[in-house]
């Protein structure tokens, strides 16, 4: 009898367990089958492993190229190519897609290396890195959308609550055009007056920057730096044409104002010499020049090791500016960010961050980069004539060619 009772008890326990397991499995299948973007088990895990790039569209508009990357799961990413001849850049991007077709877009570092190192005779040049920057932005955009988080969350989260921008009521930058090898008192005074006016505009608690645009030869810049010292500039930007580090060392020896370099430094390998030689007080690299978010983040880490902050150069539309803003939000060593809302064509881009009256930008919160592109507006803009940008400002009074 005892054995019979034990047998019946065991069978009852087993039946209850089977019923519970069946109910649990049924509930689990119901959850997994749910088409909910927030459901990681049903969506993110599988889509992360099976998502593939299927198409790239390159659309030149004005002096920019907008890249759209599409995937087999319907998630798209957007990036921007800047400061290149647009038709050439668009053609190069379409050609580069041969290296991306069928790849998983979340392998961002792998794909960056695959493109950058794909051709030993093209790696590192501006056409390679500027075009790669647009592709890199789009890859980060897809990955953020896939995980339903803003890009800065993928980089460890924000290190600050807001990002200081310029120009603003308390931060302005004065530019310079081509000048002769050594300046006359009148030429020096012209720049001094502009900087003096800028200082009056922002007040003693504001920031004034001076962009030499690589257009002022070293002797001229040394003369000018001595004359503008009383106005306490935040930094002198692009003090010399890149190529010979000895020129930067000579300027650093004679100029006490902080020097900002890196607008034309497109990779970590371009930046490292400035840091090793102690000529960079600020790195003003551009997200759209350096190879995108991936490379800009690495440059920021190099700067951190030398206690040199980033003050990103930025003359893109809101798309490229937002990509750069994500990096600025996530890095520890940061100074100030350039931004011109007027560059973005009206109605083309919708973003979710704003700049307040004190010049601080809020952090992007939408998934991915966080910009929505109106493709109908994009198509209309693309129909307009797009003459290439070949500046003619670099000329001296005698007709000779100067740097700009």
- The 3-state secondary structure of the chain reads CHHHHHHHHHHHHHHHHHHHHHHHHHHHHHHHHCCCCCCHHHHHHHHHHHCCEEEEEEEEECCEEEEEEEECCCCEEEEEEECCCHHHHHHHHHHHHHHCCCCCCCCHHHHHHHHHCCCCCCCCCHHHHHHHHHHHHHHHHHHHHHHCCEHHHHCCCCCCCEEEEECECCEEEEECCCCCCCCCHHHHHHHHHHHHHHHHHHCCCCEEEEECCCCCCHHHHHHHHHHHHHHCCCEEECCCCCCCHHHHHHHHHHCCCCEEECCCCCCHHHHHHHHHCCCCCEECCCCCCCCCHHHHHHHHHHHHHCCCCECCCCCCCHHHHHHHHHHHHHCCCECCEECCHHHCCCCCEECCCCECCCCEEECCCCCECCCEECHHHHHHHHCCCCCCCCCCCCECCCCCECCC
CB contact set of 133 (below 8 Å; sequence gap of 6+): 79, 80, 81, 82, 287, 288, 289, 290, 291, 292, 295
CB 51, CB 73: distance < 8 Å: yes
Give the mean pLDDT of 347-374. Answer: 98
Give the C-alpha separation, 243 to 258, whole Å. 20
Closest CA to 62 of 380, 385, 390: 385
Residue 295 has pLDDT above 90, yes or no: yes
pLDDT at residue number 333: 97
Higher-confidence residue of 30 and 66: namely 66
Q: State the burial class of residue 167 (Cβ atoms within 10 Å of its Cβ: 0-12, 13-18, 19+).
A: middle
Give the C-alpha separation, 365 to 362, whole Å. 9
Give the mean pLDDT of 200-205. Answer: 96
Give the C-alpha separation, 286 to 320, whole Å. 10
pLDDT at residue number 19: 45
Of 19-23, 340-344, 372-376, 389-393, which gets the smallest average pLDDT? 19-23
pLDDT at residue number 29: 46
Higher-confidence residue of 324 and 23: namely 324
Strand partners, 79: 67
| Domain 48-149, CATH | 3.30.390.10
Q: What is the band of 1 on the pLDDT scale with cuts at 50, 70, 90? A: very low
pLDDT at residue number 11: 47
| Fold exhibited by the domain 154-369 | TIM Barrel (3.20.20)
Q: What is the pLDDT of residues 140-182, one digit of tens each?
A: 999 999 999 999 999 999 999 999 999 999 999 999 888 777 7
Residue 6 has pLDDT above 70, yes or no: no
pLDDT at residue number 80: 98
Local structure of residue 121 (DSSP, 8 states):
T
Of 3-7, 196-200, 275-279, 345-349, which gets the smallest average pLDDT? 3-7
> How many CA atoms within 13 Å lie on the side-chain side of 154?
28
Q: What is the band of 396 on the pLDDT scale with cuts at 50, 70, 90? A: confident
Q: What is the pLDDT of residues 217-264, one digit of tens each?
A: 999 999 999 999 999 999 999 999 999 999 999 999 999 999 999 999
Q: Is 23 helix (H, G, I), strand (E, B) or coil?
A: helix
Query: Within 10 A of 99 (CB to CB), how many other CB atoms are there?
Result: 13
Based on C-alpha coordinates, what's the Rg of the chain?
27
Q: What is the band of 39 on the pLDDT scale with cuts at 50, 70, 90? A: low
Q: What is the band of 121 on the pLDDT scale with cuts at 50, 70, 90? A: confident
Local structure of residue 310 (DSSP, 8 states):
B
Q: What is the pLDDT of residues 79-98, one digit of tens each?
A: 999 999 999 999 999 999 99
Closest CA to 58 of 50, 42, 40, 70: 70
Contacts 24+ apart (CB under 8 A), 220-225: 220/179, 220/180, 220/181, 220/182, 220/183, 220/187, 221/251, 221/255, 222/251, 222/254, 222/255, 223/182, 223/183, 223/188, 224/183, 224/188, 224/191, 224/192, 225/254, 225/255, 225/256, 225/257
Give the C-alpha separation, 402 to 390, whole Å. 14
Domain ranges of the chain: 48-149, 154-369
pLDDT at residue number 385: 85
The model's pTM is 0.88
Q: What is the band of 26 on the pLDDT scale with cuts at 50, 70, 90? A: very low
Residue 309 has pLDDT above 90, yes or no: yes
Higher-confidence residue of 25 and 49: namely 49
Of 35-49, 228-242, 266-280, 335-349, which gets the smallest average pLDDT? 35-49
Give the mean pLDDT of 256-285. Answer: 97
Q: Is 243 helix (H, G, I), strand (E, B) or coil?
A: coil
Give the mean pLDDT of 210-219. Answer: 92
Percent of the chain with pLDDT strictly greater than 70: 88
Residue 319 has pLDDT above 90, yes or no: yes
Q: Which two tokens stand for residue 127?
A: 């056409």
Q: Which two tokens stand for residue 301?
A: 């880490």
């Amino acid at each position: 009898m005892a054995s019979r009772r034990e047998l019946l008890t065991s069978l009852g326990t087993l039946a209850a367990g089977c019923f519970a397991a069946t109910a649990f499995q049924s509930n689990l299948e119901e959850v997994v089958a749910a088409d909910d973007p927030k459901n990681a088990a049903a969506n993110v895990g599988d889509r992360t492993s099976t998502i593939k790039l299927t198409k790239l569209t390159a659309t030149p508009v004005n002096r920019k190229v907008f890249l759209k990357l599409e995937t087999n799961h319907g998630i798209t990413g957007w990036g921007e190519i800047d400061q290149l001849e647009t038709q050439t850049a668009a053609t190069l991007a379409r050609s580069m897609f041969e290296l991306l077709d069928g790849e998983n877009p979340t392998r961002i570092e792998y794909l960056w290396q695959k493109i950058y190192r794909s051709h030993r005779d093209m790696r590192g040049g501006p056409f390679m890195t500027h075009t790669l920057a647009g592709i890199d932005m789009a890859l980060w955009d897809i990955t953020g959308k896939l995980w339903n988080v803003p890009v800065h969350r993928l980089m460890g989260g924000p290190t600050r609550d807001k990002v200081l921008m310029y120009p603003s009521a308390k931060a302005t930058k004065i530019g310079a055009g081509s000048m002769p090898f050594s300046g006359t008192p009148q030429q020096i005074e012209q720049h001094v007056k502009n900087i003096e006016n800028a200082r009056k505009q922002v007040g003693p608690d504001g920031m004034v920057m001076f962009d030499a645009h690589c257009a002022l030869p070293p002797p001229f810049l040394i003369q000018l730096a001595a004359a503008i010292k009383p106005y306490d500039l935040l930094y002198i930007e692009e003090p010399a044409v890149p190529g010979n580090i000895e020129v930067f060392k000579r300027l650093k020896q004679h100029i006490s104002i902080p020097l900002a370099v890196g607008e034309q430094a497109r990779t970590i390998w371009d930046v490292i010499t400035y840091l090793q030689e102690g000529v960079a007080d600020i790195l003003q690299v551009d997200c759209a020049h350096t190879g995108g978010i991936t490379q800009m983040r690495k440059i920021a880490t190099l700067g951190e090791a030398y206690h040199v902050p980033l003050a990103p150069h930025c003359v893109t539309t809101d798309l490229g500016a937002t990509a750069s803003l994500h990096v600025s939000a996530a890095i520890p060593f940061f100074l100030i960010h350039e931004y011109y809302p007027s560059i973005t064509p009206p109605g083309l881009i919708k973003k979710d961050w704003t700049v307040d009256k004190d010049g601080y930008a809020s952090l992007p919160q939408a998934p991915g980069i966080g910009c929505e592109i109106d493709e109908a507006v994009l198509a209309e803009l693309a129909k307009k004539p797009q003459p290439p940008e070949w500046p003619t400002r670099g000329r001296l009074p005698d007709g000779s060619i100067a740097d700009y």
